[in-house]
Amino acid sequence: MFTFTVYDLLAKNLADNIDHQALAHGSIKVSYGDLGQRVDTIATWLHENGVQRGDRVGIYLPKTIEEVVATFAIARIGAVFVNINYQWTLHQLQYVINDCNIRILFTDQHRIRKIEKSELINQLDHVVVKDGTRESPKTTLWGKIPEITFTLARGAIDTELAALLYTSGSTGNPKGVMLTHLNIIQGARSVACYLKNTSAYRVLGLLPMSFDYGLSQITTMFLVGGTVVLQPVMMPAEIVKSVTSQQVTGIAAVPPAWMPIVRYLQDVKTDLPSLRYITNSGGKIPPTILKAMPEVFPNVDIYLMYGLTEAFRSAYLPPHLFHEKMGAIGKAIPNAELYVVDPDKGLCEVGETGELIHRGSLISLGYWNNPEATADKIKPCKHLKHIIGDEKVLFSGDMVRIDEDNILWFVSRTDSLIKSSGFRISPTEVEDIVYESGLVSDVVAFGKEDNFLGQAVQIAAAPIDETPMPVDELMKYCRQNMPNYMVPQKVHDWNGQMPRISSGKIDRQKVIAACMEKLYDTTTD
């Protein structure tokens, strides 16, 4: 059996690996066979409820077996799964549901209450509720879905849309990155190749499936017939407990998770005999933590990686280069090509800095319903015409440098996108919510370099009238209306009107520069 689509990742295991453990969640073990049956049950229900090929179906669940079941059930019938981060607010959920016209949503008993009380319930045809207790015309209790399955038609071919992953840009609202089955399968192949994964592997599923890095833990393991150990709780003590009790062979995490884990292991030296590798993506790990990693993870391969949701992953640093090239993003992953291009002079040489351009089958179809934004990032590159003609490539928006050994190093972003705790945040998203509070007349959001977070969200805000800035009230509003990672670390109280540019818009650069100056003035070193 060959693997063409996302469902094939599961189906192949049903053919030749049916009793192998697919998922573990605490003491609960789910074999590929069990998973296959549960997926068929939900796929049948979706089919019976009118879900067609290409329809978008939402999943708003925490890290659970059900989250995986729903994802594969949707893929089974050729519909498009849209995993929405469980920590997102109702407002953000509503945005996604409207943006891609989701009619059916999988969620749990905690979230359903707020959904039912809001406008959102009117826009949905059905909500399937995990651990739900109250049924209503629009809600179906997951536990009550009958275990009858029908033979379902073949779901999709690999060029079709499999998933939408919502992620932020430098302006505006989050956009749905369109991933085909081919994108996802090729991504899993490339990763399994350089990580040398096999069916004996047991990987920790710590990251959300709404994040391509989190999704890939499952797709990569299923590709090789391995096991995913679900880890819903990001406490270092609990993670270490899972690694030892579940014989975990690989951990994938982002910098804000690695830091507490490393500090914990420095405090409580622990043997992790099953662990073979750890990976990082989503940002830079601070140098002190990087240096400590080989000490707390002896005999473990450390992979630093880099990628954009728009093309899943671009680069990795082979573990044998970890010491020599500590902090680098490395080189192209198997089956992808990377170019470093200066917009004016073209291909960069050793020692030069330019924009990273990704070429290959991992490039997504673009942004849902936004051909302009898509055409802006995925397009031919004139400086590569002599090599690849008019083939479309992905412009990452990241500046990188090539060193004398052809290893790449991240330098900076080219735009105002904020990256905090591994999450992409557009300044506009933050500003929109702050404006809605009714407490400010002007606001500019920006990222400030932060050792722990990558960048910290900060805002400059001018109060309404000449009253003093109600900082506490504003912060409370933010905490209530934003996901945690978006809440500003600091509010710069702006006196008077913010400077404008000729169009009448706020001169963001000037405002940000003034805030940065103040920050550096007040530091003593």
The residues of the shown chain that bind other proteins, judged by CB under 8 A, are 62-63, 86-87, 110, 113-114, 232-238, 241, 256-257, 260, 263-264, 267-268, 421, 476, 479-480, 484-485
Task: Choose between 114 and 392: whose C-beta lies nearer to other proteins.
Answer: 114
- Nearest residue to 133 (alpha-carbon basis) of 145, 123, 142, 124: 142
Task: Choose between 333 and 459: whose C-beta lies nearer to other proteins.
Answer: 459
Beta bridge partners of 401: 353, 409
Task: Choose between 127 and 315: whose C-beta lies nearer to other proteins.
Answer: 127
Q: Find out whether 126 and 112 touch, Cβ atoms under 8 Å.
A: no
Q: How far is the CB of 135 from other proteins (least distance, A)?
A: 18
> By CB neighbour count within 10 A (0-12 exposed, 13-18 middle, 19+ buried), where does 144 fall?
exposed
Element holding 104 (H helix, E strand): strand 104-108
| Rounded-to-10 torsion of CA 437, 121, 96, 215 | 120
CA torsion sign for 255, 257, 258, 259 is positive
Q: How far is the CB of 407 from other proteins (least distance, A)?
A: 31
How far apart are alpha carbons 164 and 154 in whole angstroms? 21
Backbone angles phi, psi at 155, to 5 degrees: -70, -60
How far apart are alpha carbons 154 and 68 in whole angstroms? 20
Task: Choose between 107 and 197: whose C-beta lies nearer to other proteins.
Answer: 107
Task: Choose between 226 and 454: whose C-beta lies nearer to other proteins.
Answer: 454
Q: How far is the CB of 312 from other proteins (least distance, A)?
A: 24
Task: Choose between 41 and 455: whose C-beta lies nearer to other proteins.
Answer: 455
- Which residues lie closer than 8 Å to 111 by C-beta, 6 or more apart? 60, 86
Q: How far is the CB of 106 from other proteins (least distance, A)?
A: 14
Task: Choose between 29 and 263: whose C-beta lies nearer to other proteins.
Answer: 263
Q: How far is the CB of 303 from other proteins (least distance, A)?
A: 22
Q: How far is the CB of 234 from other proteins (least distance, A)?
A: 4
Q: How far is the CB of 302 from other proteins (least distance, A)?
A: 21
Q: Find out whether 396 and 378 touch, Cβ atoms under 8 Å.
A: no
Task: Choose between 268 and 387: whose C-beta lies nearer to other proteins.
Answer: 268
Q: Find out whether 146 and 37 touch, Cβ atoms under 8 Å.
A: no
DSSP state of 284: P
Beta bridge partners of 419: 424
Q: Find out whether 290 and 327 touch, Cβ atoms under 8 Å.
A: yes
Q: How far is the CB of 143 from other proteins (least distance, A)?
A: 17
